[in-house]
């Protein structure tokens, strides 16, 4: 029975096979350049091979129509001792390919494709495969070397970042999205007194207490970094409380860390600026105060007087300006020396400040001349302050190297109100009032409601 007849017989036995599929299978059998075994569900082998293929491959005629496989109910073929069937004339190499065929509603066919090749073909194929494998290995080696280089570069960058982080003089702290500490450099340990291992995983607000003088909130603005994704800058007058209880002036900034568009964490940089702020305050104080007496200097007093005049004009408040001249200062300076004169000025300043309100401003205008600005004070109330002050000075005796000196003061007082034109005008009027008091008698005062009254009195005198 020929191949086609056997196929036809099997088709008749399996009525569910589509005839169109059958014709395709028969055509594939006839045109294939390889030996093809079709394994039916009945276990019969159907071999399609041309006469030229038979001669080339020297396939034993015993294989034709032999039962070489048994198919289970599921359609899976189990090849049994295929090599025994080929033992009489083994090929140089055999490449097997099993393909299940689904025909109709049943899985009843399995295809086993055998391809015989000569030893020369096998050798050439092996050389090609070896070269292909070597090429693949070379490509793999290059990829491994590239990965190792990338890993080394990443490790180097990580080490560089860690060294840089530890070398920064500012405290650098990294948190996760919940505000828990993930990184903490040595500067942060020094600033806080906490080691990193002791604070790792803890909330930053618990171990890094920053607050403003006017607020008890911890780390002002830090919440908006994690919740709003906004960077915040350092607040003025911000302080940090060390673990031992000491307070430091600090400046800080915080910014969010993004990953795939979401806030992944934050980084906070904090700097101890206690020394800087102290130096700034000291320089500011030196620029506005008299080195010898400690009261404000002429420039600062003029600035505050301008503010008082503006307040009187805009708000209608009344203030009082007193011009003070220390009597007998030149005598002390000439007889006891400049050191004694300096000490007299210091003691006089302390005496005046002890007898006025804390809100009042005493300024040294130069030499032995002073000015006193009484805030929210009418000329009548100012006269009471001046009387108290003159009584205290009258009871004061300056002693220098067992020598006693009696000193006095002449005071001119002028009211600052809505009619006051300028700071220069009221200062000139107070100076004139002081000279009126000095001309009448040492250690006395003269007061006027307005600068014009003072100027008129001075002109009449």
Catalytic annotation, residues: 368
Tell me the sheet residues that pair with 247: 241
Tell me the sheet residues that pair with 367: none
Count the neighbouring beta carbons within 10 Å of the beta carbon of residue 447.
22
What is the maximum span of the chain, computed from C-alpha positions, in angstroms? 158
Are 71 and 40 in contact, with CB atoms under 8 Å apart? Answer: yes
Got the DSSP string for 15-29?
TTS-HHHHHHHHHHH
Got the DSSP string for 317-334?
--EEEEEEEEETHHHHHH
Element (H, E) at 285: helix 274-288
Element (H, E) at 264: strand 262-272
The conformational region for residue 172 under phi > 0 = left, psi -120 to 50 = alpha, else beta, is beta
- In degrees and rounded to multiples of 5, residue 212 shows phi and psi of -90, 160
Tell me how far CA of residue 371 lies from CA of 290, 304, 309, 363, 434, in angstroms: 13, 11, 15, 5, 11
DSSP H helices in 379-422: 379-394
With the C-alpha atoms ordered 360, 362, 365, 368, is the resulting torsion angle positive or negative? Answer: positive
Cα–Cα dist 125/138, whole Å: 20
- Can you point out the beta strands (E) in 43-198? 45-48, 69-71, 77-79, 94-103, 106-116, 171-176, 181-184
Q: Which two tokens stand for residue 423?
A: 């700071």
Q: How many helices and strands (H and E) does the chain possess? A: 16, 19
Tell me the sheet residues that pair with 409: 326
Are 413 and 448 in contact, with CB atoms under 8 Å apart? Answer: yes
How many residues does the structure list for the chain? 461
Element (H, E) at 39: strand 35-40
């Amino acid at each position: 029975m020929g191949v086609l007849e056997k196929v036809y017989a099997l088709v008749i036995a399996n009525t569910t096979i589509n005839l169109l599929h059958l014709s395709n299978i028969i055509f594939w059998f006839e045109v294939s350049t390889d030996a093809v075994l079709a394994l039916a569900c009945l276990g019969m082998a159907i071999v399609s091979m041309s006469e030229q293929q038979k001669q080339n491959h020297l396939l034993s005629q015993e294989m034709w129509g032999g039962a070489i496989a048994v198919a289970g109910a599921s359609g899976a073929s189990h090849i049994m001792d295929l090599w025994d069937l080929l033992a009489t004339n083994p090929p140089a190499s055999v490449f097997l390919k099993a393909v299940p065929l689904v025909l109709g509603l049943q899985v009843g066919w399995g295809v086993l494709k055998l391809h015989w090749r000569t030893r020369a073909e096998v050798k050439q194929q092996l050389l090609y495969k070896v070269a292909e494998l070597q090429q693949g290995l070379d490509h793999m080696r290059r990829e491994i070397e590239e990965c190792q280089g990338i890993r080394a570069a990443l490790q180097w960058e990580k080490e560089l970042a860690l060294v840089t982080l530890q070398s920064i003089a500012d405290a650098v702290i990294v948190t996760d999205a919940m505000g828990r500490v993930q990184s903490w450099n040595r500067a942060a340990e020094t600033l806080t007194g906490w080691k990193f291992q002791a604070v790792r995983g803890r909330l930053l607000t618990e171990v890094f207490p920053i607050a403003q003088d006017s607020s008890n909130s911890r780390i002002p603005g830090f919440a908006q970094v994690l919740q709003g994704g906004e960077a915040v800058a350092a607040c003025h007058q911000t302080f940090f409380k060390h673990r031992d209880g000491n307070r430091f002036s600090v400046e800080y900034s915080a910014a969010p860390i993004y990953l795939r568009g979401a806030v992944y964490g934050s980084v906070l940089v904090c700097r101890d600026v206690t020394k800087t702020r102290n130096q700034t305050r000291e320089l500011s104080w030196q620029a506005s105060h008299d080195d010898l007496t400690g009261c404000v200097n002429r420039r600062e007093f003029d600035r505050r007087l301008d503010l008082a005049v503006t307040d009187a004009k805009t708000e209608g408040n009344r203030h009082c300006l007193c011009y003070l001249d220390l009597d007998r200062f030149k005598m002390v300076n000439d007889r006891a020396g400049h050191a004694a004169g300096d000490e007299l000025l210091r003691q006089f300043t302390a005496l005046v400040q002890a007898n006025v309100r804390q809100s009042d401003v005493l300024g040294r205008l130069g030499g032995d001349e002073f000015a006193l600005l009484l805030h929210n004070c009418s000329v009548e109330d100012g006269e009471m302050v001046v009387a108290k002050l003159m009584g205290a000075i009258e009871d004061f005796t300056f002693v220098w190297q067992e020598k006693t000196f009696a000193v006095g003061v002449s005071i001119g007082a002028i009211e600052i109100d809505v009619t006051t034109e300028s700071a220069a005008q009221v200062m000139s009027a107070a100076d004139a009032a002081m000279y009126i008091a000095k001309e009448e008698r040492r250690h006395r005062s003269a007061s006027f409601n307005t600068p014009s009254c003072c100027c008129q009195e001075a002109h009449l005198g």
